Each structure stands twice: as C-alpha cells, then as structure tokens.
Chain A
C-alpha cells in the first residue's frame, strides 16, 4: 500500500514538473523528483519495494523525456542498486541526511548517464550540457527533498501509519 502511494506521489510530481517547467524561465530550477522517491522507498520499505519504485519511476521518466530508450531506466535501477548496497551503511535520521543522499544521487546520475552515452555511442555530444547542470540540479533537488521528506513523513503520520 505504502509503496503504491509513494510511487503515485512520484508520478504526480513528475507530471507536474513537466507541465510547470515551461512556465519557469530558469533552466537550472529543475529538480530531480523521481530519484528521492526511489531512495525513500528503498531505504524505508525494503529492497523489493525499492525495485518496483525504481522501475516505475524510471519508466515514467523515460516517457516524459527525450532521452534514449532504456537510459533513464538503467540509471534509475543503478541508483536503486547503489541504495540497496548503502542501506546498512548509511542511516537516514533526518530530512537533511535524506537531502544529502538525494543530491548525491543526482550527481551520480549525471555521471552515470554521461558514461552510458559515451560507451553506447562512442561520444557524448551533450557532455558539457550534462556537466553544466549537474551541480545546480543536485542543489535544487536537495532543497526539494527536504520538503518531500517532510511531506511524506506527515502523510505517514496522518494516513499511512500501520499500512505496508
């Protein structure tokens, strides 16, 4: 139940981002809204739920982006695998540690995508573009993750406590 709710929240956020972003003239204000959901589900609900979230979010991201097929899904699943490996080593005790984790995942995601396009095509034409946006994206995502974490925690306390 919780997994489904979080995935739906992630999807709604992604849709809103796609619709709202043309109205915002600043390009750098584009947070990564899918990855924090994947991380939250993986860290708090377990590896199996995390995998479902990673696949769903990866697929939705891909359908809302002009990225080459499979690339965003691959990146999403890769981040999930990293999260699974880190689960026992990294402890999320507050919204701030969650924000750090989300920001870090955005940086990893950028480099992963860069490496992927380089290995797949032998060149990365948008390399500078991806590098240019990596840090601003990470910062904006970090801030948004704080709000997202608080929102999910409130949602848990109000409605989802006890359901899994």
Chain B
C-alpha cells in the first residue's frame, strides 16, 4: 500500500514538474507585458530605480551599524589593555578547530610575536582559555569549554573554591564544591590564581544551576561562561 502510494506520488511529481515549468513561462511573460506596457510604463522604471537606491542605502546602513559595533568592541579592548599596557598582546581570531571534538580557536599571533604556551587568553568580558600550541605565525588556544580544560576558581565574595571543567558544550561544570559550601545560582566566579596559569581575579562565568540533592559529597553545578566562544573576533594574551 505504502509502496504503491509512493510510486504514484513520484509518478505524479515527475509529470507535474515539467508541466509546471512549461506553464509558468507564458504566465510570467504575459505578466511582464501587462506590467511594462499596459499600466505602469514609467512607474515601473522609477520603482526599480528607487528599489535599487533603497537596497544600496540599506547595505550602507548595515555597514555603519557593523562599524559602530566593531568600534565599541575595540574601544573596550583598548581600555582593558591600557590598564596593563606592557603585559598584553592583542590578537584576532582567524579560525576554529578542524574537529568539533575539541574547543580550540586559532589566533593570528605566534611565537614571532612572543606568544608562548600556557599564556592566558582573555577578553574584557572574562577568561577565554590558554595557549596550547604556538607556531611561528599563529597559535592555538584551548577554550574554557574544551573537555581538557580545567581552571581553579573562587566564588566572588565568598570562600568557596572549585575547579571549572569544560564539557565540550556551551556550559561548563564547577567541580569539587562540597554541598555545604556557600554557593547559589547567580554567583560570579573569578580565577583564583592558584593553578599557575591564570592570574587572580579574572571573571570566568556565572552559576546557572546548583544541584545539592544528588548522591555524593560534591554539588552538581553548571556555569555559563561570560564569553560566547563562537563569536570571538579579538582576544588579549597576558604575558607572564
């Protein structure tokens, strides 16, 4: 039954396809004649000109909006870099890891620009990750949400400490926080500086779920990083 229905449907489609194609041609031609010569001889031309002008202005407007956004972003980056002028290297993100198993970005600065392995990478919003490989002209940065990434963090304003581990997804996990520790949804996490890679006090993310009802001694905590790692254009590397 299903097979005969499919055969029928495909047969019908085979017949209707060319037929529709043939039928549409005279209809379009007649419509064109009607538009051009019968009713709207001058108006059609004017309309086309105006539409073209409108599209051009729209594109220009889009470019201006994008330029303004870029300007704001770069100004923030500059402000951030000027706080510690000799310790930062600015870099642009030029690519992403070839495999979606890893969360890694490729930046346009390499060992020629004094980029070294284990250099922390940040943006004005917060931490991005660390350099894992520095070639001559470019470097690979392991992003915070890579499954191999771990960062020692503190909860801002509290004594709670944990290890921020990547999951490969957009959110990351805060591990080894005991259920009795003071932590709740909305708490902000900053780097503790105790892992020997990241300097102290850089924003890392915000707690979005804190489940203390699961088995075991540690709480199950999800954290949303401040940065959207798929939309990074520029980053800063911190010299040690």
B100 partner residues in chain A, CB cutoff 8 A: 27-28, 30, 133, 137
Contact partner, A66, options B94, B97, B167, B230, Cβ 8 Å: B97
The reply to whether the CB of B96 lies closer than 8 angstroms to some CB of chain A is yes
Known contacts A18-B106, A129-B168, A133-B101; is-contact A66 B140 (Cβ 8 Å): yes
The reply to whether the CB of B80 lies closer than 8 angstroms to some CB of chain A is no
B147 contacts A66, C-beta separation under 8 Å: no
The reply to whether the CB of A94 lies closer than 8 angstroms to some CB of chain B is no
The reply to whether the CB of A67 lies closer than 8 angstroms to some CB of chain B is yes
State the interface size on chain A (CB cutoff 8 A).
Answer: 27
State the interface size on chain B (CB cutoff 8 A).
Answer: 27
- Interface of chain B, helix or strand or loop or mixed? loop
Give the contacts of B147-175 with A (CB-CB under 8 A): 147-148, 167-169
Least distance between B114 CB and chain A CB atoms (Å): 21
Chain A residue with minimal CB distance to B167? Answer: A129
A48 partner residues in chain B, CB cutoff 8 A: none
A65 contacts B147, C-beta separation under 8 Å: no
- Kindly state the separation between the CA atoms of A19 and B103 in the bound complex, as whole angstroms: 15
Q: Which of A22, A61, A66 gathers the greatest number of chain B CB atoms within 10 Å?
A: A66
- Interface of chain A, helix or strand or loop or mixed? helix
- What 10 A-B pairs have minimum CB-CB distances, sorted nearest first? A66-B104, A129-B168, A126-B147, A18-B95, A66-B102, A65-B98, A22-B96, A64-B98, A125-B147, A21-B96
Residues on A facing B (Cβ under 8 Å)? 14, 17-19, 21-22, 25, 27-28, 30, 61, 63-67, 72, 110, 113, 125-126, 128-130, 132-133, 137
Residues on B facing A (Cβ under 8 Å)? 93-106, 132-133, 135, 140, 142, 146-148, 167-169, 230, 232
12 example contacts (A-B, Cβ-Cβ < 8 A) are as follows: A22-B105, A61-B99, A63-B135, A64-B106, A65-B104, A66-B104, A66-B132, A66-B142, A72-B99, A126-B101, A129-B101, A129-B169
